[in-house]
């Protein structure tokens, strides 16, 4: 194998792990923002718990990795390492930018957009698997809507069950239960998000001839799980403030409902091998929980800004991926 190709694949692996690391601290808020904002967990304890369970969740399966690696492009022959490097670069830049702006955008959208843009400018539309992309986009768009509806239903049921009890007593009990829900959320986050980088690395290994079939090697699983866990431990305090307090003022019972609902939606998607945005699902769950209490309890202005970020992510990262591809061609001649 040419030395230049080995260098390119090494670059892909490094960038994919960097993406996972950034995804970890960018999406830390998804797993722990509600429990931190209600003071059910001390921030440092919450981050350690999330890091460990992100790692365990990431080792759970590889179904989502296969969807990301095999369903966006028609075949590995349509993709080379230049395209993958460009896609990752576009997604990483977007993630850092939105983190800096305290904007809870989607790492999943960023990666999908980066791949689409890089493939379009290099191979053209014939390189894309539009049926697979359609399935991914539907799961990315549909999951937060499901999160809103199911979050509203769960919170309504809790209100009916505990509506007559003393609020202080109820919230005291749900502080403990919220720790369990946050743990479930961290596990489900790892089970879905870490697999996206696994899929990218495996695609690069397949296109480079290192493996003969799209099966995620064990060492790739461990590397991606560790990268996400380290990123989670680093912490994403900017976005935690937005997720945990600016959408809706959470109490332990509502935080429990949001985390429980989010973990169910995300883990169900993992079982179905569908990539979803944990940021979108958690935000949708919080909106649904807030709506169950009172529609105007949700700060819809903040929610509107987040929706705009969600809508912008795929087009913006597609443009970044396309631009990055031109840069990559000049750097890796």
> For the segment 8-50, what is each residue's pLDDT rounded down to a tens digit?
888 999 999 998 888 777 766 666 777 777 777 777 787 788 8
Q: Binning pLDDT at 50, 70 and 90, where does residue 142 land?
A: confident
φ/ψ (deg, to 5) at 101: -90, 5
Whether the per-residue pLDDT at 284 is higher than 80: the answer is yes
Question: pTM for this structure?
Answer: 0.82
Task: List the Cα angle 94/99/104 in 5-degree steps.
Answer: 95
Q: In this predicted structure, what is the pLDDT of residue 240?
A: 54
Whether the per-residue pLDDT at 64 is higher than 70: the answer is yes
Structure tokens at 239: 């976005």
In terms of pLDDT, which residue wins out, 57 or 42?
Answer: 57
- 145-183: pLDDT as tens digits: 899 999 999 999 998 998 788 878 888 888 888 888 889
Whether the per-residue pLDDT at 84 is higher than 80: the answer is yes
Q: In this predicted structure, what is the pLDDT of residue 247?
A: 53
- Residue 256 CA to residue 308 CA, distance in Å, equals 27
In terms of pLDDT, which residue wins out, 238 or 176?
Answer: 176
Query: Per DSSP, what are the bridge partners of residue 73?
Result: 128
Q: In this predicted structure, what is the pLDDT of residue 168?
A: 81
Whether the per-residue pLDDT at 303 is higher than 70: the answer is no
Whether the per-residue pLDDT at 7 is higher than 80: the answer is yes
- 250-282: pLDDT as tens digits: 788 888 998 899 999 999 999 988 888 887 888
Q: In this predicted structure, what is the pLDDT of residue 153?
A: 95
Give just the sign of the alpha carbon dihedral 218, 16, 317, 266. positive
Instruction: Give mean pLDDT, residues 195-217.
Output: 84
Q: Binning pLDDT at 50, 70 and 90, where does residue 244 land?
A: very low
Burial class (CB in 10 A: 0-12, 13-18, 19+), 169: exposed
Average of per-residue pLDDT values in the chain: 82
Kindly report which listed range (61-75, 199-213, 241-255) carries the lowest average pLDDT score: 241-255
Rounded-to-10 torsion of CA 54, 134, 118, 204? 50
What number of other Cβ atoms are within 10 A of residue 177's Cβ?
Answer: 17
Instruction: Give mean pLDDT, residues 288-301.
Output: 77
Q: Which sequence spans correspond to the domains of the chain?
A: 3-331
Q: Binning pLDDT at 50, 70 and 90, where does residue 139 land?
A: confident
């Amino acid at each position: 194998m040419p030395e230049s190709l080995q260098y390119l694949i090494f670059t892909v692996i490094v960038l994919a792990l960097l993406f996972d690391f950034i995804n970890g601290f960018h999406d830390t808020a998804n797993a722990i923002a509600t429990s931190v904002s209600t003071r059910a967990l001390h921030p440092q304890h919450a981050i350690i718990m999330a890091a460990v369970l992100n790692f365990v969740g990431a080792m759970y399966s590889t179904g989502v990795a296969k969807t990301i690696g095999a369903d966006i492009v028609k075949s590995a022959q349509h993709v080379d390492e230049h395209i993958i490097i460009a896609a990752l670069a576009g997604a990483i830049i977007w993630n850092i930018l939105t983190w800096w702006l305290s904007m809870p955008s989607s790492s999943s959208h960023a990666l999908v957009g980066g791949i689409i843009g890089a493939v379009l400018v290099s191979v053209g539309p014939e390189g894309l698997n539009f049926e697979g992309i359609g399935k991914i986009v539907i799961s990315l768009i549909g999951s937060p809507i499901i999160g809103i509806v199911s979050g509203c239903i769960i919170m309504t049921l809790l209100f009916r069950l505990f509506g007559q009890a003393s609020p202080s007593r109820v919230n005291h009990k749900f502080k403990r239960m919220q720790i369990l829900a946050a743990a479930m959320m961290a596990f489900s986050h790892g089970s879905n998000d870490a697999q996206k980088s696994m899929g990218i690395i495996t695609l690069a290994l397949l296109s480079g001839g290192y493996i003969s079939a799209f099966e995620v090697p064990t060492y790739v699983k461990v590397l991606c799980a560790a990268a996400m866990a380290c990123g989670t431990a680093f912490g994403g305090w900017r976005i935690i403030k937005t997720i945990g307090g600016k959408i809706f003022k959470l109490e332990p019972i509502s935080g429990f409902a949001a985390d429980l609902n989010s973990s169910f939606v995300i883990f169900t998607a993992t079982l179905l091998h569908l990539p979803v945005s944990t940021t979108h699902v958690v935000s949708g769950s919080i909106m649904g929980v807030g709506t169950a209490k009172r529609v105007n309890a949700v700060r819809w202005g903040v929610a509107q800004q987040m929706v705009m970020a969600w809508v912008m992510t795929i087009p913006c990262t597609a443009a970044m991926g396309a631009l990055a591809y031109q840069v990559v061609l000049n750097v890796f001649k």
